[in-house]
A = this chain, B = another copy of it.
Amino acid sequence: MKIAETDFQAWMGGVQARMETALSRLLPAAQVAPTKLHAAMRYASLEGGKRVRPLLAFAAGELSEAPRERLEIAGAAVELIHAYSLVHDDMPCMDDDVLRRGKPTVHVEYDEATALLVGDALQSLAFQILSENKLADQPQRQLEMVRTLAVAAGSRGMAGGQQIDLDSTGSALTPPELEFMHIHKTGALIRAAVLLGFLCGEKISESEKKQLDRYAKAVGLAFQVVDDVLDADASTATLGKTAGKDSKQGKPTYVSVVGLPAARRMADELRQEAREAVRDFGGRAHRLTALADFIVLRKF
């Protein structure tokens, strides 16, 4: 193992541990009424996931010298939106899945009605923590963060991408249509994570924001392409979620639309595009480039 890799692994582990503590603190305690809802919200959000979105927020925050305490909140807000989307996604009326992060999904462990409310309440909590903690010297900047997350989560972002996904099941998409779907479904929230992390700092330049956005678009799409490759390739045990599900459900994936070798090539091109986008930042972007590598080269 190279020294750079060891350093990256240590940094990643550190952020993941910080996020676990932050999420545990920000989520209502399981003893607070209604206890079943709060226990289920914690079940859905804690002890699981790679925390890719918070990692991106922390990496982007290095560019604007953002304080860690703010990055924890911003990262947690994005992660709560992500967690809520997984809970609703897994429900019987959507993907009907029983396994997530190696554990029974929320509607299996609890019940469907509770899963519905868990998702709803996690979304509210994301906006609550984003508005009740100080995340910027100017409150106007903080309102921009609320708006960025709301747009990314909504009908012209993640929820809209889910709808396109639903409507495309069983139909043949062209590569541009597939890209349009994923830019919404996965990409929007990943872009929000990068932007929110950057906005937590005080050294904000509009031109840097644009370069970061280019990075975030490439990484967001790469993330989904790799997900599709892994879904076709890996086993359920490695993924911690049901493997091969998308193709069984007749959902278009990069593998089904362009084939496995082309999907692999595409992921690597997007990794190069992401690295290229932040080249001007030099060494300050080393976490961002390492994350682009991690996202594309991961095996789970």
Measuring CB to CB, which residues of chain A are less than 8 angstroms from any residue of chain B?
28, 32-34, 36-38, 41, 84-85, 88, 91, 93-94, 111-114, 116-117, 119-121, 123-125, 127-128, 130-132, 138-140, 142-144, 146-147, 149-151, 153-157, 159-160, 162-164, 166-167
Task: Label chain A's interface by main secondary structure.
Answer: helix
- Note all chain B residues with C-beta closer than 8 A to A113: 93-94, 166
Shortest C-beta distance, A168 to chain B (Å), equals 10
**Given A37-B155, A128-B151, A155-B38, A114 and B166 touching (CB < 8 A)?**
yes
How far, in whole Å, are A113 and B33 apart by their CA atoms in the complex?
A: 29
Set B37, B127, B167: member contacting A150, Cβ < 8 A: B127
How far, in whole Å, are A114 and B164 apart by their CA atoms in the complex?
A: 10
Set B120, B130, B151: member contacting A88, Cβ < 8 A: B120
Contact A121 B37 (CB under 8 A): no
Shortest C-beta distance, A163 to chain B (Å), equals 4
Contact A34 B160 (CB under 8 A): yes
Shortest C-beta distance, A153 to chain B (Å), equals 4
Contact A160 B127 (CB under 8 A): no
